[in-house]
Amino acid sequence: MSTGMKLDFLIDNPKVTTLDRKNDVAMQILEHYKDSQGKPMINIVEECFRTYFVSYIARSGFPFFENVREFIERMQGAGLPAMYYTWTQRMLGIPGWSMKNPQEARPFAETSLDNLRISYAILFCGYFLSTILFIVELWKGRRARIQRRKVLKRKLARKHLRNAF
Protein backbone atom coordinates (compact mmCIF):
# COMPACT_ATOMS: atom_id res chain seq x y z
CA MET A 1 0.00 0.00 0.00
CA SER A 2 1.53 3.32 -1.05
CA THR A 3 1.73 6.44 1.09
CA GLY A 4 -0.96 8.16 -0.96
CA MET A 5 -3.36 5.23 -0.56
CA LYS A 6 -2.75 5.19 3.20
CA LEU A 7 -3.46 8.91 3.45
CA ASP A 8 -6.63 8.58 1.34
CA PHE A 9 -7.79 5.87 3.74
CA LEU A 10 -7.01 8.17 6.69
CA ILE A 11 -9.09 10.99 5.21
CA ASP A 12 -12.07 8.64 4.76
CA ASN A 13 -11.73 7.01 8.22
CA PRO A 14 -10.98 9.55 10.99
CA LYS A 15 -10.34 6.93 13.73
CA VAL A 16 -7.49 5.23 11.84
CA THR A 17 -3.75 5.85 12.11
CA THR A 18 -0.83 4.71 9.99
CA LEU A 19 2.93 4.42 10.18
CA ASP A 20 5.20 5.65 7.43
CA ARG A 21 8.39 7.61 6.88
CA LYS A 22 7.94 11.11 8.25
CA ASN A 23 9.48 13.05 5.36
CA ASP A 24 7.59 11.10 2.69
CA VAL A 25 4.29 11.67 4.48
CA ALA A 26 5.06 15.35 5.09
CA MET A 27 5.69 15.93 1.38
CA GLN A 28 2.55 14.02 0.39
CA ILE A 29 0.45 16.02 2.85
CA LEU A 30 1.88 19.35 1.69
CA GLU A 31 1.38 18.42 -1.94
CA HIS A 32 -2.07 16.77 -1.93
CA TYR A 33 -3.83 17.04 1.45
CA LYS A 34 -4.27 20.74 2.25
CA ASP A 35 -7.46 22.72 2.80
CA SER A 36 -8.32 25.95 0.97
CA GLN A 37 -6.26 28.04 3.43
CA GLY A 38 -3.13 25.93 2.96
CA LYS A 39 -3.36 24.13 6.31
CA PRO A 40 -2.71 20.38 6.34
CA MET A 41 -5.76 18.14 6.78
CA ILE A 42 -3.64 15.39 8.37
CA ASN A 43 -1.31 15.83 11.34
CA ILE A 44 1.97 14.02 11.86
CA VAL A 45 2.56 12.85 15.42
CA GLU A 46 6.21 12.35 16.31
CA GLU A 47 6.56 9.66 18.93
CA CYS A 48 10.33 9.19 18.59
CA PHE A 49 12.92 11.52 20.05
CA ARG A 50 15.09 10.88 17.01
CA THR A 51 13.84 10.69 13.46
CA TYR A 52 15.78 8.35 11.22
CA PHE A 53 15.72 8.90 7.47
CA VAL A 54 17.25 5.54 6.60
CA SER A 55 16.48 2.24 8.29
CA TYR A 56 17.05 -1.41 7.51
CA ILE A 57 15.71 -4.72 8.70
CA ALA A 58 17.97 -7.77 8.80
CA ARG A 59 17.57 -11.29 10.12
CA SER A 60 19.44 -12.23 13.28
CA GLY A 61 22.92 -13.52 12.59
CA PHE A 62 23.29 -11.42 9.39
CA PRO A 63 27.05 -11.57 8.62
CA PHE A 64 27.38 -7.98 7.33
CA PHE A 65 25.39 -6.29 10.11
CA GLU A 66 28.28 -4.08 11.27
CA ASN A 67 29.24 -3.14 7.69
CA VAL A 68 25.68 -2.08 6.83
CA ARG A 69 25.37 -0.12 10.09
CA GLU A 70 28.66 1.68 9.43
CA PHE A 71 27.67 2.45 5.83
CA ILE A 72 24.33 3.92 6.89
CA GLU A 73 25.97 5.98 9.64
CA ARG A 74 28.39 7.41 7.08
CA MET A 75 25.55 8.24 4.70
CA GLN A 76 23.67 9.91 7.54
CA GLY A 77 26.80 11.81 8.61
CA ALA A 78 27.40 13.01 5.06
CA GLY A 79 23.84 14.34 4.91
CA LEU A 80 22.80 12.35 1.84
CA PRO A 81 19.32 11.37 3.10
CA ALA A 82 18.60 14.95 4.15
CA MET A 83 19.80 16.24 0.76
CA TYR A 84 17.57 13.71 -1.02
CA TYR A 85 14.52 15.10 0.77
CA THR A 86 15.63 18.70 0.15
CA TRP A 87 16.03 18.05 -3.59
CA THR A 88 12.71 16.21 -3.77
CA GLN A 89 11.02 19.06 -1.92
CA ARG A 90 12.46 21.62 -4.37
CA MET A 91 11.49 19.47 -7.36
CA LEU A 92 7.88 19.31 -6.13
CA GLY A 93 7.85 23.08 -5.57
CA ILE A 94 7.14 22.85 -1.84
CA PRO A 95 8.53 25.87 0.06
CA GLY A 96 11.36 25.16 2.49
CA TRP A 97 9.78 26.60 5.60
CA SER A 98 6.71 24.40 5.38
CA MET A 99 8.66 21.17 5.95
CA LYS A 100 9.70 22.24 9.45
CA ASN A 101 6.23 22.27 10.97
CA PRO A 102 3.48 21.49 8.47
CA GLN A 103 0.74 21.48 11.14
CA GLU A 104 0.92 25.24 11.56
CA ALA A 105 0.74 26.48 7.98
CA ARG A 106 -0.02 30.18 7.94
CA PRO A 107 -2.74 31.32 5.54
CA PHE A 108 -1.81 34.01 3.05
CA ALA A 109 -2.84 37.53 4.02
CA GLU A 110 -2.21 40.51 1.81
CA THR A 111 -0.61 43.60 3.29
CA SER A 112 -1.00 47.24 2.38
CA LEU A 113 0.98 50.38 3.12
CA ASP A 114 -1.48 51.19 5.91
CA ASN A 115 -0.47 47.96 7.66
CA LEU A 116 3.21 48.83 7.30
CA ARG A 117 2.93 52.46 8.44
CA ILE A 118 4.67 51.88 11.78
CA SER A 119 7.49 49.94 10.14
CA TYR A 120 8.14 52.73 7.66
CA ALA A 121 7.94 55.36 10.44
CA ILE A 122 10.58 53.50 12.47
CA LEU A 123 12.73 53.13 9.35
CA PHE A 124 12.44 56.87 8.62
CA CYS A 125 13.36 57.74 12.23
CA GLY A 126 16.43 55.51 11.96
CA TYR A 127 17.53 57.20 8.72
CA PHE A 128 16.92 60.63 10.23
CA LEU A 129 18.90 59.89 13.41
CA SER A 130 21.77 58.33 11.49
CA THR A 131 21.94 61.38 9.19
CA ILE A 132 22.07 63.73 12.20
CA LEU A 133 24.76 61.58 13.82
CA PHE A 134 26.78 61.61 10.58
CA ILE A 135 26.60 65.41 10.40
CA VAL A 136 27.66 65.74 14.06
CA GLU A 137 30.62 63.41 13.47
CA LEU A 138 31.71 65.44 10.42
CA TRP A 139 31.44 68.67 12.41
CA LYS A 140 33.43 67.27 15.37
CA GLY A 141 36.05 65.85 13.00
CA ARG A 142 36.56 69.20 11.28
CA ARG A 143 36.66 70.97 14.62
CA ALA A 144 39.29 68.53 15.93
CA ARG A 145 41.34 68.99 12.76
CA ILE A 146 41.25 72.78 13.16
CA GLN A 147 42.29 72.45 16.82
CA ARG A 148 45.22 70.20 15.84
CA ARG A 149 46.36 72.73 13.24
CA LYS A 150 46.24 75.55 15.79
CA VAL A 151 48.28 73.49 18.27
CA LEU A 152 50.84 72.65 15.57
CA LYS A 153 51.12 76.31 14.56
CA ARG A 154 51.74 77.31 18.19
CA LYS A 155 54.41 74.62 18.60
CA LEU A 156 56.09 75.66 15.36
CA ALA A 157 55.96 79.33 16.38
CA ARG A 158 57.57 78.53 19.76
CA LYS A 159 60.21 76.41 18.06
CA HIS A 160 61.05 79.22 15.64
CA LEU A 161 61.24 81.71 18.50
CA ARG A 162 63.69 79.48 20.40
CA ASN A 163 65.81 78.97 17.30
CA ALA A 164 65.88 82.71 16.63
CA PHE A 165 67.69 83.45 19.92
For the stretch 48-97, pLDDT in tens is 444 455 556 555 566 776 787 787 778 777 777 778 878 888 887 777 65
The verdict on 127 and 66 lying in the same domain is no
d(CA 24, CA 21): 6
Among candidate residues 63, 78, 104, the one where a domain is terminated = 104
Residues 100 and 116 in one domain: no
Q: Both 7 and 52 in a single domain?
A: yes
Give the chain's largest Cα–Cα span. 111
Count of domains observed in the chain: 2
Over the stretch 3-59, which tens digit does the pLDDT of each residue have?
Answer: 778 788 878 876 777 777 777 788 888 888 888 887 877 777 655 444 455 556 555
Q: Which domain holds residue 21?
A: 3-104
Q: Rounded to whole angstroms, how far apart are CA atoms 31 and 22?
A: 14
Q: Does 138 score more than 50 pLDDT?
A: yes
